[in-house]
Structure 1
Amino acid sequence: MESHSVVTAAPQRGAARGLGAMLDLAALSHRRAAALLVAVCLIAFLPGFFQIPPVDRDESRFAQASKQMVESGDYVDIRFQDEVRYKKPVGIYWLQSAAAKVGDALGVADAHRTIWLYRLPSLLAAIGSVLLTYWAALAFVARRTALIAALMMATSLLLGVEARMATTDATLLLMSVAAMGALARIYLGARHEPPRAAGWHLPALLWTAIAGGVLIKGPLVLMFVGLTMLALGIADRSVRWMRDVRPVVGFLWMLLLVAPWFIAIVAKSGESFFMKSVGDDMLAKVTSGQEAHGAPPGYYFLLFWITFWPGAVLAGLAAPTIWKARAEPGARFLLAWVIPSWIVFEAVMTKLPHYVLPLYPAIAILIAGIVEKNGLWRNKWIEHGTIGWFLLPTVIAVGVPIIFFTMSKDLGLVAWPFAAVAVIAGLFAWWLFDVDGAERALLRGMVSSVFIAVTVYAITFPMLPSLFPSQLVAREVRAKGCADPQLASTFNYQEPSLVFLLGTGTKFSDGAGVAEFLNGGPCRFALVDARSERAFVQRANALNVGFTLGSRIDGFNISNGKRFSMAVFHSAVP
């Protein structure tokens, strides 16, 4: 990004010290920058990565479908138990299956039911996305500024969540940044004086990344690229540079990469794949709030201030200067990356926080460029927003003991020191903003983000087992020592995490049906909610089934936000 005019210059950066000195040292070479980014990613993403059980329905559905691929040896069809799962293409399932098989080959105990193995593609993709943000930013800004942009991504709250989830979104981000970084270099090269030829390596990277994105989550990466090109064509009143994208050859290359699996799945499923993926998933999300995830326009704008924290705190102060620089090629490209796709996401009825994640690298580069140029808008009212660096960790620090006491009648004292450091770092970021400048404040906010991750993911979640009732049920079942335990649950609790932890053969039925399942032989277990318990006992007695009451599981279902209590019964155990 070229030099920007500023309304009022912010304080110049003084002699580097502390975090700033570390940044200066890392910016001396690409190798050092990459090493720092990987180290920060590991510190930010690993807390809780191995300890947290399967979290929500999406993660468990993805992991279970991948597990079934390993069990069946069928790497074309996608199934959750007997139900076809054609909402997303196969890419993420291949990656997760490969991770599970590698884990098994390396001797990881019970690898096919070890959730962190299925999260490895997301972790590696999140780290790769941070490195690619740095690479993409180098097309616009100097090395040190690119490093700040990448660090904003590494410490953003949303990417921290997605790095720990066995879902598609971190991998989609990786493909998106690779594609957009290549497109940016093609565009800026054409605008350079004299123009710089793109060659074949950048178009090859662009279309290969699009193909990877299509295999991960359908045409979203193609949408980001297409809308960016459309917006630039309108703003520049020229499309001549687009020839360097090699659209015809590139599109054919993309088809060559994605077609084999699509042909194979259509041969296996007929038209049902496209009906499920295009009709039931994509079009349904556009026209209605799918799975109760509807929200009005403005949803992503409001969530942005939390999901992109701590970098989001500077967005309001950077926005006026960014808009003034919109005619510059770099700023124009980045705005074209963000604005059209953001409008589409706000207009679509179904909304989930992670949908806009592939747009965050562009925002990070824009903010980093303004911070380094000392171009933040000095408006006292908007500067009050810097208190966000202090407020969010404070809310979390207050909320943690409340959650601990509500869930376990404990205050969670072990989490307090880490939460306190997060609050103190956030306080310094806000309080010393005018004294030390935006960069140091942002770096302190990043430190706060890391300690928030430790507080929440490494301590709070693992120490509250009632948040993960499927794990409690699995421990109860395995404690009986059966070689091949089988479980049936009443319909009140039919979470995918239960299937992942206790096997593809897990059944769901009413109270009477669960009693009949228990009658099928030894080492069978029944999970029965309070409403179904009477019907279960009556049917079991009618069938003369011998059963024993194990434990009662009291928990909190994260998926629907409700408490529940269920009893575990089992038949004779040899």
Structure 2
Amino acid sequence: MLSLSPALDRLAAMASASHARACALLLLLSLAAFLPGFHTLQPLDRDEPRFAQASKQMLETRDFVDIRFQDEARHKKPVGIYWLQSATVSAGEALGVPAARTQIWLYRIPSLIGAVATVLLSYWALLAFVGPRLALLGAALMAGTVLLGVEARIAKTDAMLAACAVATMGALARTWLDWTRSLAFVPSSRNWLVFWAATALGLLLKGPIVPMVWGLAILVLSIRERGFRWLKPLRFGPGLLLCLVVVLPWFVAIALKTGGSFFAESVGQDMLGKVAEGQEKHWGPPGLYLLIFFGTYWPAAAFAAMAIPFAWVRRREPQVLFLLAWIIPSWIVFEAVPTKLPHYVLPLYPAVTALLLLALVNGGIDRFRRGAVATALLVVLLPLALIGVIIGANWSLDGTLPYTALPFLALTLLVAISVVAAFRRSDFEGALWRCVLASLLLGIGVYGFAIESLRSLKLSPRLAEAARSVGCADPAVMTVGYREPSLVFLTGTNLAMGIDGAAAATFLNQPGCRIAFVETRYAAGFQTATAQSGLTPRLITTIRGFNLNGGRRLEMAVYARP
């Protein structure tokens, strides 16, 4: 059994001696948690390559107002993330990164920055509730959270959005706790600026989500106080003006460019569509987020569940009341909306962490409570189940095992077992630090090695590589039977989508360097059409893989015009 308590204790004491040291350690922990697989993970269909492709098209067209995926208007989210991704790719091009516009990791850099910022801002926010040592622990737990680790590696809005939400709620917490005389220090005079700058960025990233989170919390707390006087330090007048200065120019520009259709589609179809019904096969029943919480908030989820009795008993105290106002109203909204995606509740997880720490420091975690040890065993069960899935997927899809990942996965289980052992001897702080270590090991094993070994899932990269092997500088490409956005991103904006094998044959029969990807179901029609036209296409290779979105195996033949 691992014995890490003295080492962990010394590390926590050393790092929490100053805010600079704490932030330095959290930065290192965040990079250790988020970088494995960051560069090697293929574009993850469907959302990630849609965001990346739209950003790539901004660079191709130099139109930084409208948002498009190929010829289709992508009027779902505001422009913030596309600007950030375009900026990082432009920087990559300036630094000489080869084929920068098809390097998905460059588009992920804003997400990485957002995830690291979420960890550092969680430390800042938690300082309003607990001392530096526990705030450091809480931020480290956020770095180890499964959901934040996933979002750090996906080129879309949610990691950066979480950072904005934590910044606003950290500022709001200081305002509330100072009003209720629960804050041991006077908030900075720039607290209002943090609140409104993060709100403005959140509006440019994902519209009303950040204001919804703090707005619902303000409503609950103001009902308790029977008024809004406590909000005066946040300076709503100058703050709203700042938001208008930041967001209004693009909103006006997109309204003029699209004739107002952006707002009709983003609000009328995308946002209200998610409220009315589950969009894009993402429907889920109320309570789904509670069910998956033990996976998305792993490894600390089991201990957060143990803090619920403490939160209920102390619910009227200013600190606990604020955290419940942060969590419960927004959680109810997310559960009520039919469209369910795991990342929706990510902005609420720092508040869950704060409740866990308050329970820890106030004796609210009881090792002798009935079922407590059994609950702690969830720390072991999730990686055990994940290891089984990974081994099964490797064997069934590729006929091999993730040998390089197995040592890290075994170490993860060993450390997870030590978490339960530390909990049983009432070393709660040590158990939570071991949770962080278990998460780091799991991330290295899964993202660094296991997923990389799943060659069958890399259909789009392998098809794009086959197209490059033909030797044409800029070939025209069509795909039939496989239409994932990642293929558009990797092969080019002008990728044609054929409806059948005859369309692919007609496409190859036109002049120039041409390549067609034809799925097996359309092979007979393709062969018939090529025979009738007298065309003899050259078979470059046949690629077999598994399409996660379709949930089925695919076989793609790659043909070139003779």
TM-score band by shorter chain is over 0.9
Q: 2:556 aligns with which of 562, 566, 570?
A: 566
Q: Deviations over 1:303-342 (max 9, x none)?
A: 1111001111101211111222222211111111001000
TM-score norm. by structure 1 comes to 0.94
- Letter in structure 1 aligned against 2:248: A
The 1:506/1:302 distance shift into structure 2, 3 A limit, reads: same
2:489 pairs with 1:500: yes
Q: Deviations over 1:444-496 (max 9, x none)?
A: 12211111111111111111121120011011111122111221011x21000
2:208 pairs with 1:219: yes
Aligned partner of 2:73 in structure 1 is: 84
Aligned partner of 2:303 in structure 1 is: 314
Q: Deviations over 1:537-570 (max 9, x none)?
A: 2222333333111211111112232221121111
Q: 1:458 aligns with which of 448, 452, 473?
A: 448
User: 1:198 deviation in Å?
Assistant: 6.0
Q: Which range moved further: 551-560 or 294-303?
A: 551-560
Aligned residues: 558
2:545 is paired with a residue whose SS is: strand
- Letter in structure 2 aligned against 1:45: F
Aligned partner of 2:507 in structure 1 is: 517
- Letter in structure 1 aligned against 2:41: I
Q: Pairwise mapping of residues 86-165 of structure 1 onto structure 2 (< 5 A)? A: 86-165=75-154
Q: Deviations over 1:88-131 (max 9, x none)?
A: 00000000000100001001110000000000000011001100
Q: Deviations over 1:351-371 (max 9, x none)?
A: 100000000011111112222
Q: Which range moved further: 61-70 or 377-386?
A: 377-386
1:470 is paired with a residue whose SS is: helix
- Letter in structure 1 aligned against 2:436: M
2:525 pairs with 1:549: no
Q: Which range moved further: 151-160 or 315-324?
A: 315-324
Q: Deviations over 1:198-227 (max 9, x none)?
A: 675222221111110010011100101110
Q: Pairwise mapping of residues 332-481 of structure 1 onto structure 2 (< 5 A)? A: 332-377=321-366, 378-481=368-471
User: 1:154 deviation in Å?
Assistant: 0.2
1:355 is paired with a residue whose SS is: helix
Q: Distance in 2 between matches of 1:296 and 1:556?
A: 28
- Letter in structure 1 aligned against 2:237: V
2:165 pairs with 1:176: yes
Q: Is the 8 A contact 1:190 1:196 kept in 2?
A: no
Q: Is the 8 A contact 1:90 1:215 kept in 2?
A: yes
Q: Distance in 1 between matches of 2:123 and 2:110?
A: 20
User: 1:375 deviation in Å?
Assistant: 2.3
- Letter in structure 2 aligned against 1:413: Y
Q: Is the 8 A contact 2:78 2:206 kept in 1?
A: yes
Q: Distance in 2 between matches of 1:129 and 1:440?
A: 23
Aligned partner of 1:11 in structure 2 is: none
Q: Is the 8 A contact 1:556 1:564 kept in 2?
A: yes
2:425 is paired with a residue whose SS is: helix
Q: Distance in 1 between matches of 2:197 and 2:334?
A: 24
What is the alpha-carbon root mean square deviation over aligned residues?
Answer: 1.7
The 1:383/1:514 distance shift into structure 2, 3 A limit, reads: same
Q: Distance in 2 between matches of 1:91 and 1:114?
A: 20
Q: Is the 8 A contact 1:396 1:419 kept in 2?
A: no
Q: 1:485 aligns with which of 447, 450, 475?
A: 475
Q: Distance in 1 between matches of 2:88 and 2:549?
A: 26
Q: Pairwise mapping of residues 253-272 of structure 1 onto structure 2 (< 5 A)? A: 253-272=242-261
Aligned partner of 1:6 in structure 2 is: none
Q: Distance in 2 between matches of 1:311 and 1:521?
A: 60
2:280 is paired with a residue whose SS is: helix
The 1:194/1:497 distance shift into structure 2, 3 A limit, reads: closer
Q: Is the 8 A contact 1:159 1:170 kept in 2?
A: yes
- Letter in structure 1 aligned against 2:514: R
Aligned partner of 1:186 in structure 2 is: 175
Aligned partner of 2:523 in structure 1 is: 533
Q: Is the 8 A contact 1:293 1:352 kept in 2?
A: yes
1:18 is paired with a residue whose SS is: helix
Q: Distance in 2 between matches of 1:342 and 1:117?
A: 32
User: 1:248 deviation in Å?
Assistant: 3.0
Q: Distance in 2 between matches of 1:193 and 1:134?
A: 18
User: 1:393 deviation in Å?
Assistant: 1.7
Q: Is the 8 A contact 2:398 2:455 kept in 1?
A: no
User: 1:285 deviation in Å?
Assistant: 0.2
Between 1 and 2, higher relative CO (CA 8 Å, sep ≥ 6) is seen in 1
Q: Distance in 2 between matches of 1:134 and 1:364?
A: 10
2:550 is paired with a residue whose SS is: coil
Q: Distance in 1 between matches of 2:408 and 2:484?
A: 32
- Letter in structure 2 aligned against 1:380: R
- Identity score, percent: 46
Q: Distance in 2 between matches of 1:401 and 1:25?
A: 39
Q: Which range moved further: 452-461 or 72-81?
A: 452-461
- Letter in structure 2 aligned against 1:63: A
Aligned partner of 2:57 in structure 1 is: 68
Q: Which range moved further: 37-46 or 321-330?
A: 321-330
User: 1:194 deviation in Å?
Assistant: 10
Q: 1:239 aligns with which of 198, 208, 228?
A: 228
Aligned partner of 1:5 in structure 2 is: none
Q: Distance in 2 between matches of 1:562 and 1:369?
A: 47
2:303 is paired with a residue whose SS is: helix
- Letter in structure 2 aligned against 1:238: G
Q: Distance in 2 between matches of 1:195 and 1:142?
A: 10
1:432 is paired with a residue whose SS is: helix
Q: Is the 8 A contact 2:65 2:79 kept in 1?
A: yes
Q: 1:38 aligns with which of 18, 23, 27?
A: 27
- Letter in structure 1 aligned against 2:190: H
Q: Distance in 2 between matches of 1:470 and 1:391?
A: 33
User: 1:389 deviation in Å?
Assistant: 1.3
Q: Distance in 1 between matches of 2:185 and 2:454?
A: 57
TM-score norm. by structure 2 comes to 0.96
User: 1:196 deviation in Å?
Assistant: 8.2
Alignment gaps of 5+ in structure 1: 1-13
The 1:324/1:54 distance shift into structure 2, 3 A limit, reads: same
2:363 is paired with a residue whose SS is: coil
Q: Distance in 2 between matches of 1:221 and 1:372?
A: 29
Q: Is the 8 A contact 1:156 1:449 kept in 2?
A: yes
1:17 is paired with a residue whose SS is: helix
- Letter in structure 2 aligned against 1:433: F
- Letter in structure 1 aligned against 2:557: A
Q: Which range moved further: 545-554 or 58-67?
A: 545-554
Q: Is the 8 A contact 1:316 1:382 kept in 2?
A: no
